[in-house]
């Protein structure tokens, strides 16, 4: 089974080809083009710029991936694309390109939920068995899910306001640390003193495993405003970055610990996915949470945590294996919860 996958839901344009043969699985090609430079002047992703850039680049990336894999379209078994949730202008570019390839070469089209791509990556990398507990933490999402099978998700908690990565982006902008905010905060935090500023621990002591990050963002703002007048000093900025990172990690640890009490079935593993799962401090803390609950901690390599097309091709392959394909009039979805109960 061999599937081409397309990812265009945010600011990475990517195409990958994955295959599974007799239990072995591999990525034949992954062509990715980041739009960081296009969005940097704005300190965040601008949807219309993202959509235009995806259109400019996607067809060349498809050709590059096919060439790198050294295969012909005829040898593909399906064409998958992120069909939501995400910035809809970009999603449409990916879906239309996939539908065109699918129509010309008469291959099944698979509309992949971007979140399912993140959720199933650990099966591609580590062959994790169901059910497992998944922390999905990125610039657009922060959720804790029980993954029971392809298409079977129980959402245990989600953010009540901002996503974790969004909090890092906004704080980094206020502190002048650069874009994207996650890596910028992480780098600054390395030379900062995490206990200098006493930032709040949102929802501490509350039941459930919902998340909240907007209070932290506001606390950063208030802390900066309370500093002595004048330009923000570098040491203040890095100390605040370290304090923020510590607060975010402590909040996520607290919520995930609650999540372990809420699962229906004993999980085989604790899995982290999404761009913020690239954060080393968070990985270390999650590893400890998993150990405390007696399960292995699985986190894909950084390049498969951030948005990529390997996860879309893989999710497409998993769906195709189960006969789950979609018609060519499939409507791209800007919002698309993973769990049916919230659909």
Partner 1 sequence: MRVLAFDTTTSACSVAVCEDGETKALFHDLMVHGQAEALIPAIEKTMNEAGVTYGELDRIAVAVGPGSFTGVRVGLAAGRGIGIATGHPVIGLLTTEVIAAESQIATSLPTAVAIDARRAEVYLQCFDVNGIATAAPACLLPEAAADVLGNHPWVLVGDGAVRVQPHVDSAVVPGEITVANASVLANLAATRPIPQTPPSPIYVRPPDATAPKDGGRLRP
Residue closer to partner 1 (CB basis): 22 or 231: 231
Pair type for strands 109-113 and 78-84: parallel
Q: Residue 17 CA to chain centroid, in angstroms? A: 19
CB of residue 61 vs partner 1: minimum separation in angstroms?
10
Query: Which positions lie near partner 1, rule CB under 8 A?
Result: 41-43, 46, 48-49, 51-52, 55-56, 58-59, 62-63, 73, 88-89, 92-105, 173-176, 221, 224-225, 227, 230-232, 327-332
Pairing, β 109-113 against β 2-7: unpaired
- Nearest distance from residue 307's CB to partner 1, in Å? 18
Nearest-approach distance from CB 175 to partner 1, in angstroms: 7
CA distance 188 to 272: 23
Nearer to partner 1, 58 or 271 (CB): 58
Least Cβ distance, residue 329 to partner 1 (angstroms): 4
Measuring CA to CA, which residue among 262, 300, 270, 302 is closest to residue 286? 270
Shortest distance, position 285 Cβ to partner 1, whole Å: 28
- What spatial distance separates the first Cα and last Cα of the chain, rounded to whole Å? 30
> How far is residue 114 CA from its own chain's centroid?
8
Pairing type for strands 12-21 and 24-34 reads antiparallel
Residues 106 and 328 sit within 8 Å (Cβ to Cβ): no
Whichever of 46 and 253 has its CB closer to partner 1, that residue is: 46
111 or 145: whose CB is closer to partner 1?
111
Which residues neighbour 240 within 8 Å (Cβ) at sequence distance 6 or greater? 171, 175, 192, 196, 197, 220, 223, 224
At closest approach, how far in Å is the CB of 66 from partner 1?
A: 8
- Give the nearer residue to partner 1 in terms of CB position, either 83 or 304: 83
300 three-state secondary structure: coil
Residue 3 β-bridge partners:
18, 78
Report the residue number, 73 or 130, with the smaller CB distance to partner 1.
Answer: 73
């Amino acid at each position: 089974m061999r599937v081409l996958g397309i990812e265009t839901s945010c600011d990475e344009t990517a195409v990958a080809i994955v295959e599974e043969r007799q239990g072995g699985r591999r990525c034949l090609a992954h062509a990715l083009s980041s739009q960081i430079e296009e969005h940097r002047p704005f300190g965040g992703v601008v949807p219309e710029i993202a959509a235009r850039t995806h259109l400019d680049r996607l067809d060349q990336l498809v050709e590059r991936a096919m060439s790198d894999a050294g295969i012909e379209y005829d040898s593909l078994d399906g064409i998958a694309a992120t069909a939501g949730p995400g910035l809809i202008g970009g999603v449409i570019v990916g879906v239309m390109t996939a539908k065109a390839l699918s129509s010309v070469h008469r291959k099944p089209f698979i509309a992949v939920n971007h979140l399912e791509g993140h959720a199933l990556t650990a099966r591609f990398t580590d062959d994790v068995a169901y059910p497992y507990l998944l922390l999905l933490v990125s610039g657009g999402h922060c959720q804790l899910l029980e993954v029971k099978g392809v298409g079977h998700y129980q959402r245990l908690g989600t953010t009540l306001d901002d996503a974790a990565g969004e909090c890092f982006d906004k704080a980094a902008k206020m502190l002048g640390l650069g874009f994207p905010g996650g890596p910028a905060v992480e780098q600054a935090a390395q030379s900062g003193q995490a206990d200098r500023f006493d930032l709040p621990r949102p929802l501490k002591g509350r039941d459930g495993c919902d998340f909240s990050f907007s209070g932290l963002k506001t606390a950063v703002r208030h802390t900066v405003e309370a500093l002595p007048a004048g330009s923000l000093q570098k040491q203040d900025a890095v100390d605040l970055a370290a304090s923020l990172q510590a607060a975010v990690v402590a909040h996520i640890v607290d919520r995930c610990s609650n999540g372990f009490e809420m699962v229906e079935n004993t999980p085989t593993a604790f899995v982290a996915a999404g761009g913020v799962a690239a954060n080393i401090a968070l990985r270390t803390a999650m590893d400890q949470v998993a150990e405390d609950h007696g399960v292995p901690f699985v986190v894909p390599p950084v390049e498969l945590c951030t948005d990529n097309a390997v996860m879309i091709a893989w999710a497409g392959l998993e769906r195709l294996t189960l006969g789950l394909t979609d018609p060519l009039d499939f409507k791209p979805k800007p919002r698309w919860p993973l769990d049916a109960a919230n659909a």
